Amino acid sequence: MARRALSQKCLTLVQCLESTVPVAIANSGMGNCRIGLSGGADSLALTAAMAWARDHRSGPLAGVDVSARVIDHGLQPGSHDVAVQAAQQAKDLGIDGEVVQVEVDPTHGGMEAAAREVRYAALAGGPPALILLAHTLDDQAETVLLGMARGSGVRSLAGMPARRDQIVRPFLTIRRADTQQACRDWGLDWWQDPANEDPSYARSRVRSAMDTLDQVLGPGLAEGLVRTADLCREDADFLDDLVDQARVDPTQPTLDVPTLIALDTPIRHRLLLRWLRHPNPDGVTRTHVLAVECLLTDWHGQKAVSIPGGHVTRENGRLIRSTTSFSGPTTARD
């Protein structure tokens, strides 16, 4: 990247990286960073900002080991050409770029979830590295709105964390319009993903609805949703800490009924959710949690409760989780 004066938008992105990524490097002990690059404006701006911080600044990211990885899901005609072009853009910016092809199986959880799962796995493959993702404030707001629409709990409304394990999202305070303007200022042409306009995807529908809601409710909707996520994250972290303090192991196939009944309801529900999701994380809902709750608080010798991948019974003062389907009409004993 040729050295020239930074525009204010570009400088903001660079400074954002310098204030977040070095902390993650220090806390993780990982000295190298890997950018998840799609070729879109957000990830392209992230790549350009990292290149500038590494090569043209004397700040904490000067000389940092950084590369870019482009995941080709193969879901659209010409996707490989798009991926190759994105990797070349990274190389033009002075950052090594590679393309990784993956196969997406949408039979479990739908296309969006399946693509996300294989993408994250592909980004994490190879030598350990911090994975930098370019999710913006707008993405965070859409995530919260999706959680609201689905009736999800506080953890889902907490949105995406700025850092979890090796994943870092340094742009969660940056608007999408700012990454696009930064690309223009850097003279970069980004790829417009047609999936972002495809109404068959829930996130695309939410993205479209955000513009309408802004007009109906007034400006500041995205920022308000992100503030909601921040508050929910604090509450969710606090509740999760209380669950940990309960000293009940959700990996065990049985749980003690008196111990569970003694817990406050929100803590008990979160613990039951962890327990039910341990053998089979997919498909467990609040409906399953409340059904199992009845085995504790409304016990009258009822039958087993079916859950994804098995069933739960109550016997001799314990809840018993089985990974086999329940087929008999027998009443459980206590």
What confidence tier does 205 reach under pLDDT thresholds 50, 70, 90? confident
- Does 254 have pLDDT greater than 70? yes
pLDDT at 182 (0 to 100): 98
- Does 325 have pLDDT greater than 70? no
Of 112-116, 173-177, 311-315, the one with minimum mean pLDDT is 112-116
Regarding predicted confidence, which is higher, 121 or 206? 121
CB contact burial 25-64 (16+ within 10 A = b; e otherwise): beeeebeebbbbbbbbbbbbbbbbbbbbbbbbbeeebeeb
What is the model's pTM? 0.84
Mean pLDDT over 54-62 rounds to 96
Regarding predicted confidence, which is higher, 282 or 249? 249
Residue ranges in the chain assigned as alpha helix (H):
8-28, 41-55, 79-92, 110-124, 137-149, 154-157, 176-186, 202-217, 221-245, 257-261, 265-277, 286-297
Residue 323 near residue 308, CB atoms below 8 Å: no
CA–CA separation, 196 vs 202, rounded Å? 10
Residue carrying the six token digits 């992100």? 226
Residue 159 near residue 233, CB atoms below 8 Å: yes
What confidence tier does 110 reach under pLDDT thresholds 50, 70, 90? confident
pLDDT at 104 (0 to 100): 87
Mean pLDDT over 118-134 rounds to 95
pLDDT at 194 (0 to 100): 79
**DSSP state, residue 174:** S
Q: What's the burial of 80, exposed, middle or buried (CB within 10 Å: 0-12/13-18/19+)?
A: middle
Residue 34 near residue 50, CB atoms below 8 Å: no
Residues above pLDDT 70, as percent of the chain: 95
